[in-house]
Amino acid sequence: MGTILTSVVAFIVAISLLIAIHEYGHYIVARLFGIKVLRYSIGFGKPLWSIRRGRDDTEYCISALPLGGYVKLLDGRETDIAPEDEGRAFDQQPVPQRIAVLFAGPAFNFLFAIAAYWVLFVQGVAVVSPVVGEVEPDSYAAEAGLAYEDRILEVGGREVSGWEDTLITLLGDMVDDGRVPLTVERADGSTERLTLDVGRDAARLTEPGVLFDGLGFRPWSPPVVVGEVNPDSAAEAAGLASGDRIVAVDDVPVASWRELTEALSPRPGETVAITYQRGGDTRTVETTLSAMQSDGERRGILGISNRIEPSERRISIQEYGPLEAVGEATGKMVDTTVFTVRMLFRMVVGDVSLKNISGPVNIAQYAGSSASAGSEYFIGFLAVVSISLGVLNLLPIPMLDGGQIVYQTVEWVKGSPLSERAQMIGQQVGILALIAIMGLAFYNDLARLFAP
């Protein structure tokens, strides 16, 4: 119940904040051009709270449905213009000014992403080195020649420093032709060029959660070396001590903390055999797992922390000064925006799985997990969603800012507005397109939620 509440609250906070910023872009640019703003609303439907301010008596309100928002401008196509407001209606402005007002919403989403990344870069961002972990036999990774503890230096000729930029570049190259050139540094220090070749399997590999399993490798994680042993835990009962290296559970090898967790989590209260190494000796001991509640489920735990040796710390901190961070944050926003646009285009042509389209349920889950993980993760989540919101609003769909910009551009070129019939057809097509996108997003949400 607590996890669901966290997700709902985090989702409402995230969406309300990003929509407020988006609509503020429309609002402030309209005000700069002298356009009269009638209403600034966060959410749709019946206003829950409202207040009027300023010489234009603008209504500021929070409405019942927190899945959107809008700025209502004075417009002669919708109402009569009072004599004192002549020249202040949206439709009475030159076309370039109208386009600027429409573009300002997405632009403010991109500016917010820069600000969010700036905060992260100034306080320091943890970057996990792209080192390869376990490689499955007869997989794409094995066929390419990837091996345990290979450090990926370049993807498609582009230098990479962490898993995030590695995956973004890898996905981008993979959907182009199914081949991804890699430069790796072997464990012995030598450098080698390899090629991941997934052929026509690229679209399947872009499905959420499929990439690593589909390619046949995992990011490296340190071996399980016992750090602290919790009092009154299964580990203490088994006699485990700091420095012991756990190598198997019930004779099944475990090479990482992830594998240990996967072996123990489904077995709360059960007795398991733990094989570990101490001082050159290998020993096996049986112990009954403790249980803990996590995400509404009982999970088996041993009651230890993982000790990472200094030589195995493959996490660096990217930290920049206030001025340098501006350039880094802007570059990060541009890279993420370009990647988002490329993936959307690839979805349209069928190179990327449509299962990547997420609806409010999945976004809420991400919001909740990032909020629970800490402010750094939540800020990063807000930046990515803000960029997505900006890109989606620029799509040439008549109900969105991008569609309206297309209308204004056509009017600018031909010297007169589109006919009412053409605009009506466009609106109908836009509504159908949005319904289709929302329907697919909800379907994907439910499919993930009820997946076995």
Active-site residues, by number, are 23
φ, ψ for residue 226, nearest 5 deg: -65, 130
DSSP 89: S
- CA dist 82 and 92 (Å) reads 13
Specify the long-range contacts of residues 62-69, CB closer than 8 Å, at least 24 apart: 66/12, 66/15, 66/16, 66/19, 66/42, 67/15, 67/43, 67/360, 68/19, 68/43, 68/44, 69/19, 69/20, 69/22, 69/23, 69/41, 69/42, 69/43, 69/44
Residue (of 79, 142, 108) closest to 20 by Cα position:
108
- CA dist 125 and 70 (Å) reads 34
Sign of CA dihedral 337, 340, 344, 349: positive
> Which residues in 94-244 belong to E strands, given as ranges?
125-128, 132-135, 151-155, 158-159, 179-185, 191-197, 217-219, 226-229
Q: Coil, strand, or helix at residue 164?
A: helix
Cα atoms in the Cβ-side hemisphere of radius 13 Å centred on 81? 17
Q: Decide: residue 155, CB within 10 A, 0-12 exposed, 13-18 middle, 19+ buried.
A: buried
- CA dist 257 and 259 (Å) reads 5
- Say if residues 56 and 131 touch (Cβ distance below 8 Å): no
DSSP 375: H
Q: Which residues contact 186 (CB under 8 A, 6 or more apart)?
A: 147, 149, 150, 192
Tokens 């071996």 belong to which residue?
223
In sequence order, what are the beta bridge partners of 65? Answer: 44
- Say if residues 378 and 370 touch (Cβ distance below 8 Å): yes
- Say if residues 150 and 131 touch (Cβ distance below 8 Å): yes
- Say if residues 129 and 315 touch (Cβ distance below 8 Å): yes
274: left (phi over 0), alpha (psi -120 to 50) or beta: beta
